[in-house]
């Protein structure tokens, strides 16, 4: 599985915005989040754009612009984020259709589709159990660097 970090970065951004707002600020800028995640602001804006389309965050333009949460961290789950930023299914079928004249080639795709659906359903269930509130709690529970 080509590992992509989209879910990780998106969770990072949401946790950052959530904590920042709890410290009294109204909006967070993509530049601030990018500095924390050590990446480019455009990468953050792209990801947050997808989260906005999913109704998880809001953006404000003009002067004093930036991003804010559209929902409480406790009501956002990793499944919400996953569905917002991950396009395709977990496992793919053959890229060319198998030989339909062969018994296995004919039955393999319906068989695997059913099996994959069950597995992905379980994955979604697990993702839905983790709220961004818990993510932020775990983040803050990380041991501080010893001096």
Residues that bind a copy of itself (CB under 8 A): 1-5, 7-9, 11-12, 15-16, 19, 35-39, 78, 86-100, 102-108, 110-112, 114-115, 118-119, 122-123, 126-127, 130, 134-136, 138-142, 144-145
Q: Identify each DSSP E strand in the chain by its residue range.
A: 57-60, 66-69
Under 8 Å between Cβ of 5 and 13 = no
x/- mask, DNA, residues 72-91, rule CB under 7 A, reads --------------xx----
x/- mask, DNA, residues 94-133, rule CB under 7 A, reads -xx-------------------------------------
Nearest residue (CB) to a copy of itself, 42 versus 115: 115
7-46 b/e with 16+ CB inside 10 Å = b? bebbbbbbbbbbbbbeeeeebbbbebbbeebeeeeebbbe
Least spacing, CB of residue 50 vs a copy of itself, in Å: 14
What is the Cα–Cα distance from 116 to 103, expressed in whole angstroms? 20
Q: Which does 63 bind (CB under 5 to 8 A by kind): a copy of itself, DNA, none?
A: DNA
Matching residue, tokens 């319906």: 110
Nearest residue (CB) to DNA, 74 versus 89: 89
What is the Cα–Cα distance from 91 to 114, expressed in whole angstroms? 12
């Amino acid at each position: 599985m080509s590992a992509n970090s989209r879910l990780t970065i998106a969770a990072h951004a949401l946790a950052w915005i959530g904590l920042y707002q709890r410290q009294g600020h109204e909006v967070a800028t993509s530049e601030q989040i990018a500095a924390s995640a050590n990446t480019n602001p455009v990468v953050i804006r792209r990801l947050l754009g997808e989260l906005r389309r999913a109704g998880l965050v809001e953006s404000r333009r003009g002067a004093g612009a930036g991003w804010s949460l559209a929902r409480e961290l406790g009501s956002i789950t990793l499944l919400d984020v996953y569905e917002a930023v991950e396009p395709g299914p977990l496992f793919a079928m053959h890229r060319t259709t198998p030989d339909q004249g062969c018994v296995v080639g004919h039955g393999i795709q319906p068989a695997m589709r059913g099996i994959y659906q069950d597995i992905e359903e379980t994955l979604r269930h697990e993702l839905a159990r983790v709220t961004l509130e818990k993510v932020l709690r775990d983040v803050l529970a990380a041991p501080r660097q010893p001096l």
